């Protein structure tokens, strides 16, 4: 049975690692951040259940202020919101790749290792990884427009 001898340190042991290994580490880091975020998010956004005043004061606390029928977001908060969206998009699209490969899709049949010993279990799903990362990148780019150019 596989033993994780290095523990969490093993995530960062990347010497000689392929690109998917970097994505794995990034997936875990973004996952950890997102669990912390969702905890705070559920508690803060729950203020809407109490009153409009509570809702506004919580949003004001995180840098969103209301003025007539619109609201303004603190630029620093807005920037971190963008980073958060990127982390979510990365985790979501990389997660779909991990689910598909975990279930055996896009891996192909096992084959005899022959020179030059290309790892087909990594090479075969690579187009899927590139495709999903391109979609993520597309959302990130239109996010620049949404977050920074039209506000």
Residues that bind other proteins (CB under 8 A): 4, 7-8, 10, 28, 31-32, 34-35, 38-39, 42-43, 45-46, 48-49, 52, 55-56, 59, 64, 66, 69-71, 81, 85, 88-89, 92, 95-96, 99, 102-103, 139, 142-143, 145-147, 150-151
Q: Element (H or E) spanning 73, and its range?
A: strand 70-73
Q: What is the DSSP letter of 148?
A: I
Query: Interhelix angle for 75-102 vs 126-144, to 10°?
Result: 160
R_g (Cα) of the chain, nearest Å: 21
The CB-of-118 to other proteins minimum distance in angstroms stands at 27
Is the CB of 57 or the CB of 113 nearer to other proteins?
A: 57
Closest CA to 101 of 24, 16, 17, 12: 24
Structure tokens at 104: 């055996």
Is the CB of 9 or the CB of 111 nearer to other proteins?
A: 9
Is the CB of 88 or the CB of 122 nearer to other proteins?
A: 88
| Nearby residues of 73 by Cβ (< 8 Å), 6 or more positions away | 63, 64, 81, 151
The CB-of-4 to other proteins minimum distance in angstroms stands at 6
Task: For residue 64, give the 3-state DSSP assignment.
Answer: strand
Is the CB of 137 or the CB of 143 nearer to other proteins?
A: 143
Task: For residue 139, give the 3-state DSSP assignment.
Answer: helix
The CB-of-85 to other proteins minimum distance in angstroms stands at 5
The CB-of-62 to other proteins minimum distance in angstroms stands at 10
């Amino acid at each position: 049975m596989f033993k994780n001898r290095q523990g969490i340190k093993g995530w960062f042991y990347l010497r000689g690692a392929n690109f998917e290994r970097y994505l794995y580490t990034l997936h875990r880091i973004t996952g950890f951040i997102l669990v912390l975020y969702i905890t705070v998010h559920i508690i803060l956004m729950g203020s809407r259940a109490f009153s409009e005043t509570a809702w506004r004061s919580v949003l004001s606390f995180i840098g969103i202020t209301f003025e007539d029928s619109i609201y303004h977001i603190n630029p620093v908060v807005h920037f971190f919101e963008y980073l958060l969206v990127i982390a979510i998009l990365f985790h979501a699209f990389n997660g779909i790749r991990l689910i598909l490969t975990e279930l055996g899709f896009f891996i192909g049949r096992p084959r005899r290792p022959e020179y030059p010993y290309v790892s087909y279990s990594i090479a075969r799903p690579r187009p899927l990884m590139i495709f999903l990362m391109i979609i993520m990148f597309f959302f990130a780019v239109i996010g620049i427009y949404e977050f920074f150019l039209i506000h």
